[in-house]
Every structure is written in C-alpha cells, then in structure tokens.
A and B are shown apart, each in its own frame.
Chain A
C-alpha cells in the first residue's frame, strides 16, 4: 500500500540516511554496534538486549517500559552515570553498563 493515506511510511524521508547508520559502543565491556538514531533504550531493544536490570527485592528481569522518561526502568550506567536510556541518543564510544545498576 502506498500513497499519502498510508499511516506510517517505512520509506518516509525522515529516516532516510539515519536508519542503517551504527555506532560502536561497549555494553558491560563487550564491544558491539548500535543503531545511531533514536534512544539508547530503543537501540538496545533493536539489538536484542531487552533485559536492562533486576528489580530491587525480587531480582526479577526488567527492561524499558514507558519510553518517555516516566517509569525509570531504563536507568542504567551510561559513561559512568546513572541515566535513563530512553532519554539519550547512542554515541560513538559510549560505554554502557548494565551490571551494578542498583
């Protein structure tokens, strides 16, 4: 289905030139590439990393939930600071640590 009535276009001009670009990062010391656009949380999801931390009492697996900065589930260590991964964009050389997130 093509044309202006299509709700979301895979080939919309706003992703031209961005999707496909990746940056090199480390996740818990391991080198990998993440899509350069959007948020770190979205990029990790795309790379198959869904589990970001463990819940405080039960140790249950948790991952990004609201993608708008409200739930705090995606707070992980990015370049040494506890930051919400849904609010920052991936950057070349970024070091991401999931281990040790309280």
Chain B
C-alpha cells in the first residue's frame, strides 16, 4: 500500500467532487472513490434548476453564494455545464397557493433572496408564454439552470487537471479507523488516508454505519421528464408555489419537467419504476403553466434518488467523536447549493475558517451515538 492520502472522499457526486477539487487545489493529495461513474446518480439526473425560490429559508445565504459560484463556473470548474442565469417565476394559481407564496417568498426575501411578488400581468411581461389564471407570482431576476448530465464530464476534467486520483467503478465496502487516519476497503485493495469525507448522497446512511454512526437519511425518489426539441416557448425558470413543478427550456429546445413527484425505488434498486398517473399529474402542471408545451412530445422520464435528513437541512461538517472524519451531503436543493457547501467544507478541512457556518450532524443524532 502506498503512502496514505491526505484526504479520501468516498462518493463521486457533486458534493464529493467539489470537496475533492478544492482540497486538491489547496495542496492536499486527494483520492476520490466512486462505485460507478462520477456524477451519474442524483448529480447527473436532476432537473438542473438553480433557484432561490425552492431553497429552504435557512439556506438562502448559501444559495445566493452558490448561485454566484455557478454563474462563474468557467473560473473554478473550467468546463461547460450549460449554466444559464435568467429570471425565475414561482406561480400561484389559487388562493391557497397565493397565500403560500406570499408567506414563503416573504420569508426568503427577508433572508436576502432578491424575490419580488408581482401580479399575473407583470408575470406575463417577464414570461410571455404563461397560461391564464396566474394570480400571483414570485419573481427572482437571478434564477437559472444548468445541464445536469454535463456535470460528470466537467468535473472529471477539472479533477484530473487538479491531480486528484479518481477511482471510478470502485465500490467501497467499508472504512476502518486507524490510529492516525483511516483505511478505505474496496474489493481488490485498500487505501489509506489521513482524513475522510463521506459524500454518498442517499448512501451516507450506510456509509456512516461503517463508523458506527446512525444517521437516518430519507430517500426521496424524484420523477423527472424531458421533452423532444420544441420551438422556443419559454425563457424563464418556472415553478409553482407548492414546489411541485420545476420547468425550464434549454437552448437546444428540450424542456425538463420536475417537481419532486415520487416514484418507486430505494437505495438498492435506484429509481426503479415510475408511476404513470403521477407523471401525468406533473406534466399537467407544466402544461397549465406553459400551454404551448402541449405541442411537444415526451421523450423520456426517469427517477433519481435525493437524500433528506430529518429536519431537511444539510449534513455537512465533521463527524462527531471521530477526528478527521467529515460528511457532506443531503443538502436539499443540493444541485444549487451543493458546490458552495462542499467548498466550505474543503476550506474547513484545509484548516481555514469557512465564511458561513457548516451544518454539523450532531443535531440529528441520538445522544449516545455522538460521543466517541
């Protein structure tokens, strides 16, 4: 076995990749272990929305910095993930939704998000493609989106350039604590490291179990759909106040529809089976918001797994009671805020003070597990 790495990151999604990238640029010798290919789970199959309007209030300060980070992806990532910054609208079609929107947009605005409430007419000036019946809308001028399936290739190139040792198609089966550091166990070999980051998305729960930490992670099985190319019919990122629709049209004409409608699946099988009625329900919301979408044909639907902690806030920070072990994931709207939070963690690991607080998991553990 070669000299131990300064850092080993287990899990090659957007969180793991970003921690690895900034740690390597900070001078560490880093290994990234991924059981499949980089960014092929949630990070490669999500809707790509970069929005303030579905972000938890507590995460707004992070989301704003994360948004700026995405907008300048060419600086730190160096490779194209198709980031577009554009207006975003969160729509309310009923009294109930309007009340929900007023409350939520208000709170997010208080937290610093540049969101204004506008009426249907003003909304239609921002987005001429809107259907009728918009009572109220939250308007954010700096929303946007990226192209999730480009993420893997972009990070791969950046990580290689930064000198990270990438071990893809390499499942880790366990982590052993050593006197100083850790040993990551894989099928054919082991790997020694001084520090470890567990960044496994929904698999953070079984990963933490390797260290005898019991952190329940709920597995959301989110349905998504994409259409064939369509003439331009919208120019904003659209949502509904309930959070049950995300909608955007890419430059090449395809439209991605999301909203967290649940399919059947789990950690073992992945997003295994979509539910047709729910798919139709989700698409109805999309067609209600942008009626011209009816002219498009559905090309593909799929489901991805998203992690959620008990309080739906991130699991980012040191593992209590285990020196030099960290966890990074379950960010909720992880694609938007993930890279920024992961970078904060990298700062911490490099011995610097992160500019915003992390989200240590102590709060989520029963007292017995949080002591060494």
Note whether A and B contact each other (Cβ less than 8 A). Answer: yes
Chain A 71-84, CB within 8 Å of chain B: the 1/0 string? Answer: 00001000001100
B295 CB contacts on chain A under 8 angstroms = 81-82
- B254: nearest residue on chain A (CB-CB)? A102
Query: Among the listed stretches B166-174, B223-231, B309-317, which one makes contact with chain A, having 4 or more residues with CB under 8 Å of it?
Result: B223-231
CB distance from B234 to the nearest CB of A (A): 15
B269 located at the interface, meaning its Cβ lies under 8 Å from any Cβ of chain A in the complex: no
Residues from 56 to 101 in A contacting B, C-beta threshold 8 Å: 56, 75, 81-82, 100
Known: A56-B252, A81-B295, A82-B295. A100 touches B229 (CB 8 A): no
CB distance from A100 to the nearest CB of B (A): 7
A56 CB contacts on chain B under 8 angstroms = 229, 252-253
* Number of B residues, CB within 8 Å of A: 9
A81 CB contacts on chain B under 8 angstroms = 295
CB distance from A82 to the nearest CB of B (A): 6
Interface of B is mostly: loop
- A82: nearest residue on chain B (CB-CB)? B297
- B297: nearest residue on chain A (CB-CB)? A82
The complex places the Cα of A100 from the Cα of B229 at a distance, in Å, of 11
The complex places the Cα of A15 from the Cα of B231 at a distance, in Å, of 40
* Number of A residues, CB within 8 Å of B: 6
CB distance from B292 to the nearest CB of A (A): 12
Q: Is the CB of B231 within 8 A of A100?
A: yes
The complex places the Cα of A75 from the Cα of B228 at a distance, in Å, of 11
CB distance from B61 to the nearest CB of A (A): 40
The complex places the Cα of A100 from the Cα of B228 at a distance, in Å, of 14
- B294: nearest residue on chain A (CB-CB)? A81
Residues from 249 to 300 in B contacting A, C-beta threshold 8 Å: 252-253, 295-297
CB distance from A14 to the nearest CB of B (A): 33
B231 CB contacts on chain A under 8 angstroms = 100, 102
Chain B 204-237, CB within 8 Å of chain A: the 1/0 string? Answer: 0000000000000000000000001111000000
Chain B 176-202, CB within 8 Å of chain A: the 1/0 string? Answer: 000000000000000000000000000
From B229, B230, B297, residue with most partner A Cβ within 10 Å: B297
- B231: nearest residue on chain A (CB-CB)? A102
CB distance from A95 to the nearest CB of B (A): 15
The complex places the Cα of A5 from the Cα of B72 at a distance, in Å, of 73
- B252: nearest residue on chain A (CB-CB)? A56
B230 CB contacts on chain A under 8 angstroms = 102
The complex places the Cα of A23 from the Cα of B252 at a distance, in Å, of 36
The complex places the Cα of A102 from the Cα of B250 at a distance, in Å, of 13
A100 CB contacts on chain B under 8 angstroms = 231
The complex places the Cα of A56 from the Cα of B231 at a distance, in Å, of 12
- B253: nearest residue on chain A (CB-CB)? A102
A102 CB contacts on chain B under 8 angstroms = 228-231, 253
CB distance from B147 to the nearest CB of A (A): 16
Chain A 47-59, CB within 8 Å of chain B: the 1/0 string? Answer: 0000000001000
CB distance from A84 to the nearest CB of B (A): 10
The complex places the Cα of A82 from the Cα of B230 at a distance, in Å, of 10
Residues from 36 to 84 in B contacting A, C-beta threshold 8 Å: none
With A56-B253, A81-B295 known, 12 other A-B pairs at CB within 8 A are A56-B229, A56-B252, A75-B297, A82-B295, A82-B296, A82-B297, A100-B231, A102-B228, A102-B229, A102-B230, A102-B231, A102-B253
Residues of B at under 8 Å CB distance from A? Answer: 228-231, 252-253, 295-297
14 interchain pairs (CB within 8 A)?
A56-B229, A56-B252, A56-B253, A75-B297, A81-B295, A82-B295, A82-B296, A82-B297, A100-B231, A102-B228, A102-B229, A102-B230, A102-B231, A102-B253
- Among all A-B residue pairs, the 10 with the closest Cβ atoms: A102-B229, A102-B253, A102-B230, A82-B297, A102-B231, A56-B229, A82-B295, A100-B231, A102-B228, A56-B252
